[in-house]
Amino acid sequence: MARPSGDAIGPDSSASSAGGPGSTSAISLLQQLGVDIDPELLELALTHRSFAYEHPGVSHNERLEFLGDSILGQAVTVMLYNDYPSLDEGELAKRRASLVSSVALAEIARSIGLGQYVRLGRGEELTGGRDKSSILADTVEALIGATYLHCGGAEATQMVLRLIRPLLESPDRFGAAMDPKTSLQELAARLGHGLPVYEVTDSGPDHSKLFEATVVLSGKKISTGSGSSKKQAEMAAALEAWTTLQAG
């Protein structure tokens, strides 16, 4: 693997242009990803549309996200087909859906501290955008797309497999990521908390709504999660609650 080139993208970067090359923070992100991405392409992959809207002339990462989504799906599909020869089509499809879900991608993003590098608009910054599951998941896909363009399909596939491997190696966590609401309900029952209650709110225009779900157990708010649909938000909140309960 080539040595990451890096740029001036760093934690909480909001500047519209990069500074000098070799930034320690950018190199740290690339080292966690295990790839080398052109600085300008990396900056694009980390630029959310909210930042671009506030900075006319700046592009955002949604085209890279579109590309990365396809690469991700192919890499996971081939891996599951080759590594699990005894699983039938239905089970393979279920596992694939879990591994490429926004819940799983957001968990991967948090594990590498990706939120601190995303370029956000002021509004998203003020409303906790750096930890929104939908933004984190989309940024992971954009980084996969950027890796494909700069490094090629083989290296992009290897990066995808490195990122999802921790989920596969933790049966409990993989099960929770596959069906977080059921996993939370079962864990809550074992711990005597009763059934989880989901409180969901939404904001934004009809064509671009953001949903936020809060999990309430035994009358106490345990976690929150966000997504572009009610289902995504509830799943994100459920996985966060499951993680909290598991940690004791």
Residue type, 50: S
Q: Which residues are annotated as a binding site for Mg(2+)?
A: 65, 138, 141
Do residues 72 and 166 touch, judged by C-beta distance below 8 A? Answer: no
If you average pLDDT over residues 154-165, what whole number do you get? 96
If you average pLDDT over residues 42-59, what whole number do you get? 95
69 catalytic per annotation: yes
- Which domains are assigned to the chain? 24-171 (1.10.1520.10), 180-246 (3.30.160.20)
221-241 in b/e form (b: 16+ CB < 10 A) is ebbbbbbbebebbbbbbbbbb
The structure tokens 């020869």 sit at 85
Q: What is the pLDDT of residues 177-232, one digit of tens each?
A: 778 899 899 999 999 999 999 999 998 887 778 899 999 999 999 999 888 889 88
pTM (two decimals): 0.74
Phi, psi of 223, deg, nearest 5: -160, 165
Strands, DSSP E only, in the chain?
197-203, 210-217, 220-227
Query: Which one of the listed residues 36, 43, 107, 141 is annotated catalytic?
Result: 141
Strand-strand pairing, 210-217 and 220-227: antiparallel
Q: Which residues are annotated as a binding site?
A: 65, 138, 141
Q: What are the C-alpha distances in Å from 245 to residues 27, 51, 112?
A: 34, 35, 22
Give the chain's mean pLDDT: 86
Query: Which one of the listed residues 7, 36, 43, 69 is annotated catalytic?
Result: 69
